[in-house]
Amino acid sequence: MAESPDIDILARGELFRGVAVEVLREVQAVSFRRKFAAGETVYQQEDPVTTFYIIVVGRVRITQTTLDGQQVIIRYLGPGDVVGYAALTGAETHPGAATAVDDSHLLGMPAVTLREIMSRNARVAMNAVALMGERYRDLQIRLRELATEKVERRIAHTLLRLAQQAGRRTSRGVEIAFPLSRQDLAEMTGTTLHTVSRTLSGWEGRGLVNSGRRRVVIARPEALADAVEEV
Amino acid sequence: MAESPDIDILARGELFRGVAVEVLREVQAVSFRRKFAAGETVYQQEDPVTTFYIIVVGRVRITQTTLDGQQVIIRYLGPGDVVGYAALTGAETHPGAATAVDDSHLLGMPAVTLREIMSRNARVAMNAVALMGERYRDLQIRLRELATEKVERRIAHTLLRLAQQAGRRTSRGVEIAFPLSRQDLAEMTGTTLHTVSRTLSGWEGRGLVNSGRRRVVIARPEALADAVEEV
DNA sequence: CGGCATCTTTGCGACTTAGCAAAAAAAACG
DNA sequence: CGTTTTTTTTGCTAAGTCGCAAAGATGCCG
């Protein structure tokens, strides 16, 4: 199974799951590793799509910025995740920006090569469709939350979701495993950092969370879920 | 080119664009037509995915409902559009519900057959990826709007978008070509029918729109765009 | 053609949340 | 180790929307 670390990573990611080893070797042959320091940009919004990445280690944030500078965080990506889905769909430019939020290693390859491999290997293309479907579904849910829920509830759901996808169990509870400021949470939930701060302070007082500078620990996830459930 | 009306429709849709005629014939052989009256349900949220549809004529609304009954309109689909993308991705159940908003004709086929055709024809799979990418991008934009813009602006942008995708030029301006109530607009923009009503009334007074019962005509689209642009 | 169901409008009060401002806390830097 | 920068907290005020209620249109159906 383990031919090389990179092939292993590819085989475990959602895009190359179940794909023949020869294809993986081909992919590996055209791919390269690249490091990004925390805060470094992988690509900017509207950049032409040249390269496609898979995260080996680290964490990447996808954002979208409006003309007047307001930012929205579309999602966070972690190990095994695809960065730059536009390379899959054949779009000309990146609809959002990608930034490393931790020191990260990405596996990159030319977008055209990937497309070419997809067109020759239906399984890869099918995986790509499934991948896009999952992301679409996630966005649908977030859209619904944003449209129907009040701020407190949105923040709670966002935290619980982050805990699920990037949570680290500690003695104090589940810690979100990457730096996450009040501003970041605000940009994920469509509110302001002030409101996020007030909300977290409230929960802190009730012993539900345990947060600090760019760090959030959910002390009792179930209790937090309950707290926002009861009308 | 025009072998049969159905093949023509398939060839023009985004999913089967550029696909060999033999494949289209194959698709057509397993597909069937089905009528839906205005208001009729195509599938419910959480229904198992059995059938995949393409709209021939008419209009379909995709919604998502929360446990407590609140609804969000994810999007409207028109002729040529794919209904039930879950059949493409291989999901077990439909993440949203689909309802005809006008009397509609859909072309249906078994989901498994479609998947099988996709796995044999990379071009179809590639088209599916592109299609999902476009929808994902649309949702990103709506998410950003919902997170950063005030209600009036969201309503305006939503109307302008609907006008683009389902607008009919008339002497009075661009008319949204399907029944659209205040409640519907509210469910698309994350607000209440009251606020939508007030907003439209305001625009009505300024001669920007011309709306009635389940009907909206944008008298001067550019003026409406400008009106919400100026801070 | 009248009655009924549905959709829309509008007023008013309440409440959530934004926005501004300033201080406090925490980390980074030289 | 003191200074600077970044992030967080909190108070206060104002504004935007919601939510409720009731009346007014509109179109459908028998």
CB contact, 8 Å: B32 with chain A?
A: no
Which nucleotides of chain D have an atom under 7 angstroms from any protein CB? 7-11, 16-21, 26-27
- Pull the structure tokens for residue A217: 């620990």
pLDDT score recorded for residue B2: 52
Q: Which residues of chain B have pLDDT under 50?
A: none
Contact with chain A for residue B93, Cβ under 8 A = no
The gap between B151 CA and C22 C1' (Å) is 31
- Calpha distance B180→A37 (Å, rounded): 49
**Distance between CA A56 and CA A78 in Å, rounded?**
8
Calpha distance B35→A48 (Å, rounded) = 43
Any atom of strand D under 7 A from CB of B165?
A: no
| Dist CA B125 CA B94 (whole Å) | 19
What pLDDT, on the 0 to 100 scale, is given for residue B221? 97
Q: Is A150 helix (H, G, I), strand (E, B) or coil?
A: coil
Q: Are B110 and B79 in contact (CB under 8 A)?
A: no
CB contact under 8 A, B122 and A119: yes
CB atoms closer than 10 angstroms to residue B218 = 25
Calculate the average pLDDT of chain A: 95
Binned at pLDDT 50, 70 and 90, residue A145 comes out as very high
Using a CB-CB cut-off of 8 Å, the residues of chain B touching A143 are: 72, 74, 139, 142-143, 146
Residue B187: CB less than 7 A from any atom in strand D: no
Nucleotides in chain C near protein beta carbons (<7 Å): 7-11, 16-21, 26-27
Region A113-137 average pLDDT: 96
Give the pLDDT of residue A90. 95
- The answer to whether the CB of A47 falls within 8 A of the CB of A111 is no
> Is the minimum distance from the CB of B182 to strand C below 7 Å?
yes
Q: pLDDT above 90 covers what percent of chain A? A: 94
Distances (CA, A) of B25 to A185, B116, B118, B127: 51, 15, 14, 18
**Which nucleotide is at minimal CA–C1' distance from B181?**
C7
- Whether residue A2 has pLDDT greater than 90: no
Q: Looking at residue B190, what is its pLDDT?
A: 97
Question: In chain A, which residue's Cα lies nearest the Cα of B70?
Answer: A148
Residue B152, token pair as written in the block: 């009036």
**DSSP sequence for A182-203:** HHHHHHHHTS-HHHHHHHHHHH
Cβ within 8 Å, pair B129-A148: no
Residue A231 has pLDDT above 80, yes or no: no
Q: How far is CA B133 from CA A96, A162, B84, B122, B127, in A?
A: 13, 23, 15, 16, 10
Q: Are the Cβ atoms of B119 and A122 closer than 8 angstroms?
A: yes
User: Quick one: DSSP state of residue B92?
Assistant: S
In the 189-208 segment of chain B, residues within 7 Å (Cβ) of strand C are 193-194, 197-198, 200-201, 204
CA distance A198 to B155: 29
Supply the pLDDT for residue B229: 87
Read off the pLDDT of each residue in A140-147 and give the average, rounded to a whole number: 97
Contacts (Cβ under 8 Å, ≥6 apart) of A4: A28
User: Looking at the predicted structure, is the pLDDT value of residue A81 above 80?
Assistant: yes
Task: Give the pLDDT confidence of A195-209 residue by residue, as tens digits.
Answer: 999 999 999 999 999
In tens, the pLDDT along A5-60 reads: 889 999 999 999 999 999 999 999 999 999 999 999 999 999 999 999 999 999 99
B213/B231 Cα distance (integer angstroms): 30
Q: Do A129 and B90 touch (CB under 8 A)?
A: yes
pLDDT band (50, 70, 90) for residue A173: very high
Is the Cβ atom of A69 within 7 Å of strand C at any atom? Answer: no
Instruction: Determine whether the interchain pair B132/A136 forms a contact, defined as Cβ–Cβ distance below 8 Å.
Output: yes
With a 7 Å cutoff on the CB, does A193 touch strand C? no
> What is the predicted pLDDT for the residue at B212?
95
In this prediction, residue A158 carries a pLDDT of 98
CA distance A164 to chain B (A): 20
What are B134-187's pLDDT values in tens digits? 999 999 999 999 999 999 999 999 999 999 999 999 999 999 999 999 999 999
Instruction: List beta partners, residue B109.
Output: B52
Residue A58 Rama label (left phi>0; alpha psi -120 to 50; beta): left
